[in-house]
């Protein structure tokens, strides 16, 4: 379809972290509240993600692995209102073409689970009955085994795992109502419980960003003109050891945006007369029609329809937080 082609722009599986992102987004779209991630050798040997989402019907297993199978969008209007994370309908098909993939799932009102297997060169197997709890397990082995040229671009296991870890961290910061467990080479590195009350959220932020981070943060909470900003920004007493303690989510998606960096810097200068980039974990909510998320296929960029209004709102909200707590 037109929409499908418009969206298909260029889905790229660059490295294990891109696979992890797509699989986790699918789990979240399936309303999972519990996600377990097993990684081996930086994700090159194995990525296994198990969720307790609503699962996939036996009849839809094969469809899930075919290109443009998405049922998450059917018109350009949907595209504008889009709330689900994935919508291009080609992630699993792309991943299956460059790995050995196993998809096991039990649909929520079916008694049996079913599994299929696919690798780059073969037709998928016929769904076989398996024992599986409600939800889905996706297993991706030997990434790029059949595309040696791309495989050569992969870095060390350690570096690839670093990217995987960072990806999971971002999703864990945006989904407090989901528990996450992460193992690398059978060692548990992350075990995050569902964090509902504010104190639990802060604890999760501490586990992800480090205790020094939460020792020096101010709460941000603002609501104006249909926009809400919440989260945390660090005080000048926090000396950032890592340059990337900066997380900005727009309607639940992680975004890299110059606008926010400018706003943070501006507020810091105005209130504290300091010229620096603090750490932050911030969440902006606004009408989905006010933001274009399809600027870039990886969806890490956005375009605001009224960017100066958004900018003003961000600066004022941050100024208030900084002024209220450190007079
Ligand atoms: P998209 O997410 O864009 O629809 P994908 O290739 O990522 O396309 O996934 C294809 C389809 O497989 C999804 O639309 C969904 O129906 C199904 N699917 C994939 N992963 C899961 C999961 N973890 N739980 C339930 N359904 C899933
Ligand atoms: Mg998807």
Residue 35, C-beta contacts closer than 8 angstroms, at least 6 positions apart: 24, 27, 49, 50, 51, 52, 178, 179, 180, 181
Nearest CA to ligand 1 atom 8: 89
* Cα distance between residue 47 and residue 70, in whole Å: 22
Q: Are strands 291-292 and 246-250 parallel, antiparallel or unpaired?
A: unpaired
Where in the chain is CATH 3.30.230.10? 198-325
* CB of 30 sitting under 6 A from ligand 1: yes
Ligand 1 centroid – CA 26 distance (Å): 5
* CB of 136 sitting under 6 A from ligand 1: yes
Where in the chain is CATH 3.30.565.10? 2-192
User: Is the complex ipTM more than 0.90?
Assistant: yes
Domain formed by 198-325, architecture = 2-Layer Sandwich (3.30)
Residue 112, C-beta contacts closer than 8 angstroms, at least 6 positions apart: 58, 106, 129, 130
Fold classification of 2-192 (topology level): Heat Shock Protein 90 (3.30.565)
Name the token pair of 202.
Answer: 């802060």
Neighbours of 136 (CB within 10 A): 27
Tokens 């050995």 correspond to 100
Q: Are 165 and 152 in contact (CB under 8 A)?
A: no
* CB of 89 sitting under 6 A from ligand 1: yes
Tokens 């059917």 correspond to 74
- The structure's pTM equals 0.88
* CB of 22 sitting under 6 A from ligand 1: yes
**How many whole angstroms from its chain centre is CA 236?**
29
* Cα distance between residue 44 and residue 165, in whole Å: 14
Q: Block means of pLDDT (10 residues each) for the chain, length 327 residues?
A: 30 84 94 98 98 97 76 51 52 88 96 90 87 98 89 94 96 96 98 92 93 90 96 84 79 88 91 87 95 71 91 96 73
Note the pLDDT of residue 293. Answer: 75
Atom of ligand 1 nearest to the CA of 71: 14
Judged on CB neighbours under 10 Å (0-12, 13-18, 19+), 265 is middle
* CB of 57 sitting under 6 A from ligand 1: no
Note the pLDDT of residue 180. Answer: 98
* Cα distance between residue 246 and residue 261, in whole Å: 9
Residue 190, C-beta contacts closer than 8 angstroms, at least 6 positions apart: 165, 168, 172, 180, 181, 182, 207
* CB of 103 sitting under 6 A from ligand 1: no
* Cα distance between residue 225 and residue 58, in whole Å: 46
Q: Of 136, 121, 154, nearest to 48 (Cα)?
A: 136
Note the pLDDT of residue 142. Answer: 96
Q: Are 213 and 205 in contact (CB under 8 A)?
A: yes
Ligand 1 centroid – CA 103 distance (Å): 11
């Amino acid at each position: 379809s037109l929409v499908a082609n418009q969206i298909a722009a260029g889905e790229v599986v660059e490295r294990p972290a891109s696979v992890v992102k797509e699989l986790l987004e699918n789990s979240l779209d399936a309303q999972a509240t519990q996600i377990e991630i097993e990684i081996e050798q930086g994700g090159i040997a194995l990525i296994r993600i198990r969720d307790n989402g609503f699962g996939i019907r036996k009849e839809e297993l094969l469809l899930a692995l075919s290109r443009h199978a998405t049922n998450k969008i059917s018109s350009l209007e949907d595209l504008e209102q889009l709330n689900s994370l994935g919508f291009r309908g080609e992630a699993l098909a792309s991943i299956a073409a460059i790995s050995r993939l196993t998809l096991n799932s039990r649909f929520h009102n079916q008694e049996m689970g079913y599994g299929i297997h696919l690798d780059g060169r073969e037709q998928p197997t016929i769904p076989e009955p398996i024992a599986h709890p409600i939800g889905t397990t996706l297993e991706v082995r030997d990434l790029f085994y059949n595309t040696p040229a791309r495989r050569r671009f992969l870095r060390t296991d350690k570096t690839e795992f670093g990217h995987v870890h960072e990806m999971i961290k971002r999703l864990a910061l945006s989904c407090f109502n989901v528990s996450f467990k992460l193992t690398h080479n059978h060692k548990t590195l992350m075990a995050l419980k569902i964090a509902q009350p504010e104190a639990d959220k802060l604890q999760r932020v501490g586990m992800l960003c480090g205790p020094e981070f939460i020792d020096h943060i101010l709460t941000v909470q603002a609501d104006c003109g249909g926009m809400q900003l919440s989260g945390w920004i660090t005080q000048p007493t926090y000396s950032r050891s890592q340059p990337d303690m900066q997380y900005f989510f727009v309607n639940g998606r992680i975004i890299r945006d110059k606008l926010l960096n400018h706003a943070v810097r501006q507020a810091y200068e105005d209130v504290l007369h300091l010229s620096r980039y603090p750490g932050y974990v911030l969440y902006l909510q606004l009408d989905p029609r006010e933001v274009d998320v399809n600027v870039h296929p990886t969806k890490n960029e956005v375009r605001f329809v009224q960017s100066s209004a958004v900018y003003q709102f961000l600066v004022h909200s941050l100024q208030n937080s900084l002024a209220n707590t450190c007079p």
